Amino acid sequence: MSSVFGSDAHAPQEIAARVRDVGVAKAQLPWLTQALLGVLAGAFIGLGGMMFTLVASDASLGFAASRWLGGLVFSLGLVLVIVAGAELFTGNNLIAMAWASGQVSTGALLRNWAIVCVANFAGAAGLALLVWLSAHTTLNQGDVGHTAVRIAMAKAELPWIQAFFRGLLCNVLVCMAVWMAMAGRSVTDKAVAIVFPITAFVAAGFEHSVANMYLFPLAEMLRASAGLQVEFAWLWRNLVPVIAGNLVGGSVLVALVYYVIYRRGAATISSLEPSRKASDG
């Protein structure tokens, strides 16, 4: 039977139910499983960050082309997370829908976010170490490494308020990408749903905490190898406000907004089902 949209994609109210159910399942995972899947997600997003830095190091590209193409290749990270399977802090902010439904306790919600966030950091920083050891940053006459350091320094200098709102806007788009990927039934469906929102947030210069967990350690390794002093101010100057912004953007502006919409509209939606089925027939 075709859906109301004339395709086999899940309708928005069905996505809401799926997001809620997946949130319950994620919160119930053993802590070791959450941690290991979180390490994978950090590494996957780091691969997206690696590809973005590679594109950004090409000075022959114009500003818009560089941002757009960089965002496109960064999408690799979330495609890997969704298709291969991993636990990503920013995407897991959608568990707030299951929490609002009363199916996940506050303790389980916070435990998942804490474990996954720390594990994402471990995976992203671990990938940064491997990338540094591989001498990948020497490509393009060393401009790949110079670009990584330049981007990291610019991020570290953002005022807290800007970092917070860039993080907020970023995770609205990331969680919308995850939300829309839940509508798909095939790998192609999911990839197409992911690419446009992710490309948009990267091109717009918004802040993704897990991507930064890859970029900052890599930049510090490069600085240390050049004889410069290693700094850790980015931990609170960037990551703290960006994580907070990601959390509000994903859990409040996406998960809880959709929860309110479909909870209040449940009766209306149900009353429309007979007419939809008749139309489909």
pLDDT in tens, 169-217: 999 999 999 999 999 999 999 999 999 999 999 999 999 999 999 999 9
What is the C-alpha separation between 11 and 194, in angstroms, rounded? 17
User: Identity (one letter) of the amino acid at 53?
Assistant: T
Residue 279's CB: how many other CB atoms inside 10 A? 10
pLDDT in tens, 54-77: 999 999 999 999 999 999 999 999
Could you tell me the end-to-end alpha-carbon distance of the chain, in angstroms, rounded to an integer? 8
- Which of 24-33, 81-90, 96-105, 268-277 is the least confident region? 268-277
Task: Give the separation between CA 115 and CA 97, rounded to whole angstroms.
Answer: 19
* Residue tagged 């609205």 (tokens): 172
**Amino acid symbol at 191:** A
> What is d(CA 132, CA 31) in angstroms, rounded to the nearest whole number?
30
